[in-house]
Structures are given as structure tokens and as C-alpha cells.
Amino acid sequence: MNLSYLSKKLSHSIITLFIVITINFFLFRVIPGDPFAMIAKAGTLSAEYKEELSTLYGFNGSLPIQYVKYLRQLFTFDFGLSFKYRKPVLEILGNRLMATLLLAFFAQLFAIILGTVIGTLSAAFRGKKIDVAALGFALFIYAIPAFWLGIVLLSFFSVKLGILPLNGMVVAGLSHPTTWAYIKDVVHHLVLPVFSMGLAICGGYAIIMRGSLLDVLTEDYITTARAKGLKRKDIVIKHALPNAMLPMVTIIAINLGFMVSGAIQTETVFSWPGIGRLVYEALMARDYPVLQGAFLIISLTVIIANFIADIFYGYLDPRIKYE
Amino acid sequence: MKKLCLFLALMLLVALPMTAYNSEKLVLRIGIIQEPDTTSPFIATLAAFNVIDVRVYDNLIEYDDNLHPVGGLAEDWSVSEDGLVWTFNLREGIKWSDGEDFNADDVVWTYTALIEGEYPQSVQLTGITKCEKVDEYTVKLYTEAPKADMESIRVDIVPEHIYSNKSLEDLHTFAEDSPVGTGPFKLVEWKQGQFLKFEANENYFKGAPHIDEIVYVIFANADTLMLALKNGEIDAVTSIASNQVEMLEQNPNIEVVKALGRNFQELGFNCWDSPESKGNPLVLDPKIRLACDYAIDKEQIVEIALTGLGTPGTSLIPPSVGDWHWDPSDEKHNYDPEKAKQILEEAGYIDTDGDSIREDSEGNKLDFRFAVISSYGEAYVKASLIIQKNLQDIGINTNITTMDGGAQSDLIYSQNFDTDMYIWGWSAELDPSLKLSVVLTEQIGKRSDCFWSNEDYDELYKIQVSQVDREERLETVHEMQRIVYEEAPYIILYYPDAVEAYRTDKFEGWTRVPEGIGNSISQVNKSTFLSIRPK
């Protein structure tokens, strides 16, 4: 791997991050809705109280001064105080982020595996019944809204059969005697949301996999392999698939970047304590610091995911090395 | 491939067995959608904070099940002849949840901090100048003028030994993870977005609770909340969507409680008489607003927007608050579009050009902008459409713009009140002062969202704040409501019912506060939580 390639990609990522940080700052000072007015409706807010809160949140001073302060705080990982909770934003984001990562990671994994299998089967048996069924299924799943799928699964598995839980990440209030018991509880609660979100995503993967593999299967070297008498299974899995994976890696990288923000529908249906729900609530409450922090983290995830994808390309596709 | 199948099978094996809750403990599980914002009474502004403070803290004076003041942390109290000095005798032998003794130092610290600083609960202590320790179990409160609502103060008393080293500024951010309180329960765990867990305080001074734990389970949507109640995963919910009521009532194990709510929702007008206002100046004419009150079919709004779960509105103080509510009786503005048209005609608003919209003598049309919050649920939007139709029938045109609460707040407070009408709501306390204050001249830009100003009203407010004689105060408070009813800066649309539901198969001892007509779960005192026991 070329060092100059690596450092060039890294510097691009850092510049992107800086631009995102700046836009992030200004964006939230443009939204209508003064957070103090939200509190005023609930009780009392004298001018002195507003002054004190303004100082607390760093609203004093002109916009450029606030911006410099914001940058300085970022370097010490000080994301400020949440308006709603009056606690450090990082603390509030922390737990919720882990929950979403857990959900999104396994959902993506499930979706990638399922999507690849369906897409491969479809392409390998193109035109046959399997293809029609698989493609039909993929398109159907692709079109369904994630929350609807979630509600349907809930009605069947939770309500009708009663074997999976209705809500949450763990049984509420339960004190788990061992870590293993805690893990089991979380996995138990993870099944439906992962299945629901994974299904909702896999449609796209299946269709792209199919298209990409079909493309590769028309290449000359595949015809050569068939002429050599290799088994169909070996041709598809050992020769065609690795090359067909490239577009998939692109899509996976893009989706991985958005997986933090994309879980909100699933989180709402399953009451999963993730960052998507937190962001929505923060938006309603005009909790700028939390929104800023969350958006920064989401942007960071996208940038990192793309960076990793770029590195991956370097390995997967030898043609890219000397850029 | 084989490895993959094996892995998946293993995951399935792990995933499927249901984890049972530890069944040795008696746990009451309540489902909620809104969670509190913090554990500190000096920071909390959300109504959901009562999940914590009613469990964990006590006040000097409490309400009994008929809303009469009884002793809480104070055993008894008295006031001096001139009404300016109150003496409270505190109960002895009460312990904080960490074992320390409760005494006068705690009360003095709490009250002094609230008086000297500015926190959400400070407004209840308006007019109190000093809190002084007399001895270990006696405190004195000094006021500038007789304070009529002294017995209605619900300020959470916090432990001096925890808070004493905190400055007034610290209080804006200091919040204990597990707050030390005198109350019947202790908050032991709060996983944000998931649940709050409380454990019973065996040494509670009014008697130990009959259950071991309370878990408030946080749901992200109302549908799974209902499903959980139906299949017994939770024992109670504090609010139900109107379309769920019928379904729940049919379940033999579920009791639906329809209590008189302590909220009201109003059609507010831009009454800001100032060159800075961006409102339509025609709305400043009380005759137009009065006509609107006659034109709006409030019964229909309750039927359609609340599916019948409410009462058509009249005066500013809701009937559930007791005799503070003024009943207009024969002065009532019934639904009478003809009368409304008559009022407008006599005031000089006539439709001269035949477009069904009235104009004044200079040709200005009665064409108003109507801001409607759509993020609080359907009731506001449905009500606004009925209002629009009602007003159209009497020759007033309205243009509805939907938005969320923050945007409407911004419109009124930060954009020079750039609208003419809006729908909003308040929840009412058991003492009328705070709600009466929301239309004061001095609250313009603060608590007031209609920016109305009436000198007579302001005068009466100052009088009632010090009227310790209940009969006299009732008269003043009623007169104030009459003025608001006639001038109509707010048209009170309805008082929504507070609808709760609980299961009847595992626990018994659900009470209602006030008796017979009130809430079973979101109560103003700790009644249900002290009497609830397993069946």
C-alpha cells in the first residue's frame, strides 16, 4: 500500500471533518426556536435567570467568539452541556451511541449476508424460478418502509406468539446476576430489531449484488473458466464473486456511514434506546448541544467509513494503488 | 457454510429463552413515554419530573385525598396577626434516605436557596423574604404582604448535608445520580431512554410502602405501550390515546380512569398593543374576539378533536381545581353564530364586496393568520379546522400554518409576535395564582403568550395575592375570570380529561385523588403509592 495514497486520503478526511465541524456550528444557530422560550412556557424565566443560563451555555459574546470557544472545547472532547438534561453531551450521547452501534452493526451484517446470498443465487440462476422469486422478494423488501415491517414483526412474534419482547434493550429494571445473563437479555431484545432493520436494508444489497455479479459473469475469463470445465459453484464463488464485491463494498461503506442515523424508525418501533430517538427528542426540545454533538458523531462515522472503504479498495483492486 | 449455519443456530438458541423478572420482589411497573429531564428540583422544568419528585421528596404541607392541606414534613403551622410571619413546627424523627436526621437546617437551606437564586420552583415563593431557623424543629417564614397561597406551596425539601457546599451557581448543573430524599421511595437506577427504578423506603415517616420496587418503563411509541399493558408486562399507564380507550375498556382485567383534567387548551390571540407587534391590529378589538367565542362550537371540538374525552371550556381556571373555577352560568357565551354575526355587524364589520369576508370601515379585511402546532398530536389540528370553519361562517377568514412547538414559541417571543391567533395549552395548579398570572401586563414576553394588558385585571391580581380570607379571595378570583371571559384574550376551548389505565389482576389499592373523580396514578400526593399492595 502506497504511503502517499494513504496520507492523501487521510488529509482529505481531516479537511472534510473540519468543514463539517464548521457547518455544524452555524447550522444550529440558524434554526428557529429559542431554547429559552421552551423553558419559559413551563415556568418562569426572569432576565437574570436567562443571563445565568446564557453564560452557562456559552451564548455570551459574538458569533465568531462563540465559534472559537466551540473549537477549543472540541479539542478537549468537551461537547458542552445539554440544554434539556444539563449534563455533558458526551455522557448523554455515549450510552445511546453504543446501543445504536450494536443494533446497526448486526443489522448491516445480517443484511449484507442475506443480500449477498439472495443476489448471488439470483444471478447464478438467472432467468430461472429462483431468480424471479429472489428478485421479487428483494424488490418487495426494498420498497417496504422499515417501521411497517417492524410493527408487523412485533405483532406476530411479540403479541401473537409471545416469544420475543415488545420493547427496550433489556427487561426494564431487572438486576442481572451475571454479565452472561445481561448479554443473553440484550441478545434476546436485539433479535427482532436486527431482523426488522436488516430485512429492510437487504433489498438494496441483493439487487446490487445481482447486477454486479451478472456483469462479471459475462466477462471473458468466466467463459474461459467454464471452458476449462470448472464446476458452476466454483466459478461463481471463487472467481466471479470476489470481483463482483467491489460495488458492494462501495454501497456497504456508504451505508455504514449512515447506519448511526438510519436506525431511528426501528428505534421508535422497538423503543430501542439509541441515538436516533435521542436526536429526534433533542430536535423537538431545541437542545442544540446534543444535536451538534450527535451530528458531529454521525459525520465522523461517515468520514471514517469512507476512509476505510478507500483503504479497502486499495487492497481489493490492484489497479487503484498508483493513484 | 456449515459454520455459518452452526453459528446462526447457536444465536437462535441464545436468543429465544425469555428472561423472567426476579419474581420474589413486589414490583409495580408503570409505562410512560415522557421521561424526566434531571434528578434535581433546581433544574427540572419538565412535567415528567413528578415521576421522581413525588416518589423521592416531601413538602412542608401536602394535599389529602380531598385536596385539603395537611401536614407533610411540617406537623402544624400558624400565622401571625398581621399575616406576615408564618411559623412551621417540623416533624421529629424523620430520616433522610442516607440515614441522616431531617431537621430545620434542611428547610432553611432549601427555601433560602430558592429565594436568593432563581430556579424553576422559586416562583412559588414569590413574596417570601426570609426563612429563619428558630430551633432544631421550628422555622419561620417572613413575607412582604399576606400570602394567600402559602399553604399551596409544593417545594421539594432537599438535604442540607448534601447541598451545603454548593453555590447558587452550582445548583444550575448539580444533580445527584440517586437523590437523597425523605420520600417513600429511592431512585436507584435510571437508564436514560429505558427505565427508572425505585426501591421502597422502609422508614418512610407515613408508613412503609407495601411494594418493594417501582419501575417506570419508557416506551418510544404509544402502540407498544398499550400492547404491554394488555399482555400484562406493565401494570399501569399514565395517559392513553383517545382511540385506545374503547379497546382497553373491553378488557376485563383493565380499569380505565377518566379523571377531570387539570389542563386547558385555548385559542389565543395576539393582543399586543404596541408598534413593535407584527400582529393584525384588528385582533386588538375585543368585540371581534368576543364574536369568535360565540361562533366556535366547542361541543363539536370536544367530540371530534378529543373523541368526547373532555369538557367544553369557559373560564381560565378549570373546574377540576374546585371552587376557584368561575362558572359563567347565565352569562355563558353559548354556541350562537347569529349572535356572533350581530356583534360584528354592530361593531361595524360588514362584508361590503360580497366575498364572504367582513371588512372594517376602512376596508381592512378580517383575514387572520392562524398558527397551529401539529407536533403535539392530532387534537390541535382537528380543533383548528373546526374553528376555521366556524369563523368562516361568520365572515372571518383564517390562514392556518402548522409548525412545531419550538417554531411557534419563536414566532411569538423572538419574531415580534408574527401571527394573529394560535392554539396552546396550560396545566393548572391547585392554587389559581400562577394561572391567573399568565395574562398579566407584567408577564408580557415572559409567561404571557397573548401579550394582553388590562389595568383592572392587574389590580385585582395584586389584591388576590394577599387575600387570606378565602371568601374574599374567591370573589376577586371569580371577577378576574369574568374579565378574561368578556375580553377574550384567550378563548378556552376545552378542558381535556386525564385518562389513565391500570390492571386489576395483580395489585389493589388504587385510589383516586380527589376522591371519586380524580387521577389514580398522576396524583398531587402519594396516595396510590402508599396504599397499593399485591392482591
User: B351-360: per-residue pLDDT in tens?
Assistant: 998 999 999 9
Chain B residues inside the 8 Å CB shell of A175: 22
Q: What are phi and psi of A295, to 5 degrees?
A: -65, -35
- What per-residue confidence (pLDDT) applies to A43? 44
Name the least confident of A41-55, A115-129, A213-227, B307-321. Answer: A41-55
Predicted confidence band at A240 (pLDDT cuts at 50, 70, 90)? confident
- What per-residue confidence (pLDDT) applies to B386? 97
What are the distances in angstroms from CA A147 to CA A164, A298, B142, B165, B177?
A: 17, 21, 58, 49, 34
> Between chains, do B217 and A39 touch, taking CB under 8 Å as contact?
no
Q: How far is Cα B274 from Cα B235, in angstroms, rounded to an integer?
A: 53
- What per-residue confidence (pLDDT) applies to B14? 57
Q: Is the pLDDT of residue B10 over 70?
A: no
Chain A residues inside the 8 Å CB shell of B374: none
Q: Does A239 reach chain B within 8 Å, measured CB to CB?
A: no
> Between chains, do B11 and A187 touch, taking CB under 8 Å as contact?
yes
| Residue B46: closest C-alpha in chain A | A42
Rg (CA), chain A: 24
What percent of chain B lies above the pLDDT cut of 90? Answer: 84
Q: Which of A44, A167, A173 sits opposite B224 (nearest CB)?
A: A167
Burial group, residue A18, by CB count within 10 angstroms (0-12, 13-18, 19+): exposed
DSSP B513: B
Q: How far is Cα A180 from Cα A173, in angstroms, rounded to an integer?
A: 17
- What per-residue confidence (pLDDT) applies to B209? 96
- Whole-number average pLDDT of chain B: 93
Q: Which of residues 198-217 of A touch B (CB under 8 A)?
A: none
- The rounded Cα A283 to chain-centroid distance in angstroms is 19
Chain B residues inside the 8 Å CB shell of A35: 406
Q: Is the pLDDT of residue B401 over 70?
A: yes
Q: How far is Cα B92 from Cα A10, in angstroms, rounded to an integer?
A: 68
Burial group, residue B165, by CB count within 10 angstroms (0-12, 13-18, 19+): exposed
Residue type, B506: K
For the four alpha carbons of B179, B184, B189 and B195, in that order, the dihedral sign comes to negative
What are the distances in angstroms from CA B291 to CA B316, B337, B367, B493?
A: 18, 8, 15, 14
Residue to substitute from B10, B11, B37, interface A, most A β-carbons within 10 A: B37
Q: Does A154 reach chain B within 8 Å, measured CB to CB?
A: yes
Q: Is the pLDDT of residue A60 over 80?
A: no
CA distance A139 to chain B (A): 25
Strand pairing partners for B266?
B424, B492
Q: What pLDDT, in 10s, does the model give residues A265-319?
A: 899 999 999 999 999 888 888 888 898 898 888 888 888 888 887 887 777 776 7
- What per-residue confidence (pLDDT) applies to A1? 57
Q: Is the pLDDT of residue A52 over 80?
A: no
Chain B residues inside the 8 Å CB shell of A278: 193
> Between chains, do A37 and B221 touch, taking CB under 8 Å as contact?
no
| Cell 396504599 found at | B531
Q: Is the pLDDT of residue B424 over 90?
A: yes
> Between chains, do A162 and B231 touch, taking CB under 8 Å as contact?
yes
Any idea what the Cα angle at residue A78 is, between residues A72 and A83, rounded to 5°? 115
Q: Is the pLDDT of residue A38 over 60?
A: no
Q: What pLDDT, in 10s, does the model give residues B209-258?
A: 999 999 999 999 998 999 999 989 999 999 888 888 989 999 999 999 99
CA distance B38 to chain A (A): 6
Query: What's the rounded mean pLDDT across residues A241-269?
Result: 83
For residue B419, give the nearest of B489, B367, B374, B371 by alpha carbon: B371
- What per-residue confidence (pLDDT) applies to B16? 58
Q: Does B381 reach chain A within 8 Å, measured CB to CB?
A: no
Query: What's the rounded mean pLDDT across residues B47-59?
Result: 95
Residue A59, C-beta contacts closer than 8 angstroms, at least 6 positions apart? A66
**What number of other Cβ atoms are within 10 A of residue B234's Cβ?**
26
- What per-residue confidence (pLDDT) applies to A292? 86
User: Does residue B264 contact residue B58 with C-beta atoms inside 8 Å?
Assistant: no
- What per-residue confidence (pLDDT) applies to B111? 97
Most confident of A47-61, A170-184, B405-419, B484-498: B484-498
Q: Which of B21, B218, B406 sits opposite A33 (nearest CB)?
A: B406
State the greatest distance between any 2 C-alpha atoms of chain A, in Å, as a whole number: 85
| Residue B190: closest C-alpha in chain A | A173
Q: Is the pLDDT of residue B42 over 60?
A: yes
- Helix and strand totals (H; E) in chain A: 14, 0
Output the nine-digit C-alpha cell for A24. 455544524
Q: Is the pLDDT of residue A245 over 70?
A: yes
Q: In this structure, which long-range contacts are made by residues B134-137, counting pairs with CB atoms below 8 Å and at least 24 apart in sequence?
A: B134/B87, B134/B104, B135/B104, B136/B103, B136/B104, B137/B89, B137/B90, B137/B91, B137/B92, B137/B103, B137/B104
Q: Does A71 reach chain B within 8 Å, measured CB to CB?
A: no
Q: Does B7 reach chain A within 8 Å, measured CB to CB?
A: no
- pTM value? 0.90
Query: What's the rounded mean pLDDT across residues A74-102?
Result: 89
CA distance B384 to chain A (A): 21
Q: Please count the residues of chain B.
A: 535
Chain A residues inside the 8 Å CB shell of B44: none
For the four alpha carbons of A22, A24, A30 and A33, in that order, the dihedral sign comes to negative
Residue A23, C-beta contacts closer than 8 angstroms, at least 6 positions apart? none
For residue B421, give the nearest of B300, B295, B243 by alpha carbon: B295
Q: Which residue has the higher pLDDT, A5 or A78?
A: A78
Q: Which residue has the higher pLDDT, B277 or A40?
A: B277
Predicted confidence band at B400 (pLDDT cuts at 50, 70, 90)? very high
Query: What's the rounded mean pLDDT across residues A10-29?
Result: 87
Q: What are phi and psi of B258, to 5 degrees?
A: -105, 105
Q: Does B23 reach chain A within 8 Å, measured CB to CB?
A: no
**What was the ipTM of the complex prediction?**
0.87
For residue B62, give the nearest of B140, B138, B158, B154 by alpha carbon: B154
Predicted confidence band at A42 (pLDDT cuts at 50, 70, 90)? very low
Query: What's the rounded mean pLDDT across residues A95-120?
Result: 91
Q: What are phi and psi of A176, to 5 degrees?
A: -80, 125
Q: Does B115 reach chain A within 8 Å, measured CB to CB?
A: no
- What per-residue confidence (pLDDT) applies to A321? 57
Output the nine-digit C-alpha cell for A280. 429526534
Q: What pLDDT, in 10s, does the model give residues B273-302?
A: 999 999 999 999 999 999 999 999 999 999
- What per-residue confidence (pLDDT) applies to B82? 93
For residue A95, give the nearest of A169, A197, A3 by alpha carbon: A169
User: Does residue A113 contact residue A87 with C-beta atoms inside 8 Å?
Assistant: no
Q: Which of residues 47-66 of B touch A (CB under 8 A)?
A: 47
> Between chains, do A86 and B375 touch, taking CB under 8 Å as contact?
no
What residue spans of B57-125 are helical by DSSP H? 104-116
Residue type, B429: E
Chain A residues inside the 8 Å CB shell of B221: 268-269, 271
Q: How far is Cα B187 from Cα B177, in angstroms, rounded to an integer?
A: 8
- Give the 3-state secondary structure of residue B493: strand
> Between chains, do B43 and A86 touch, taking CB under 8 Å as contact?
yes
Query: What's the rounded mean pLDDT across residues A24-37?
Result: 69
Q: Is the pLDDT of residue B17 over 70?
A: no
Q: Does B193 reach chain A within 8 Å, measured CB to CB?
A: yes
Q: What pLDDT, in 10s, does the model give residues A175-189?
A: 888 999 999 999 999
Predicted confidence band at B376 (pLDDT cuts at 50, 70, 90)? confident
What percent of chain B lies above the pLDDT cut of 70? Answer: 96
Q: What pLDDT, in 10s, does the model give residues B73-120?
A: 999 999 999 999 999 999 999 999 999 999 999 999 999 999 999 898
- Whole-number average pLDDT of chain A: 85
Predicted confidence band at A258 (pLDDT cuts at 50, 70, 90)? confident
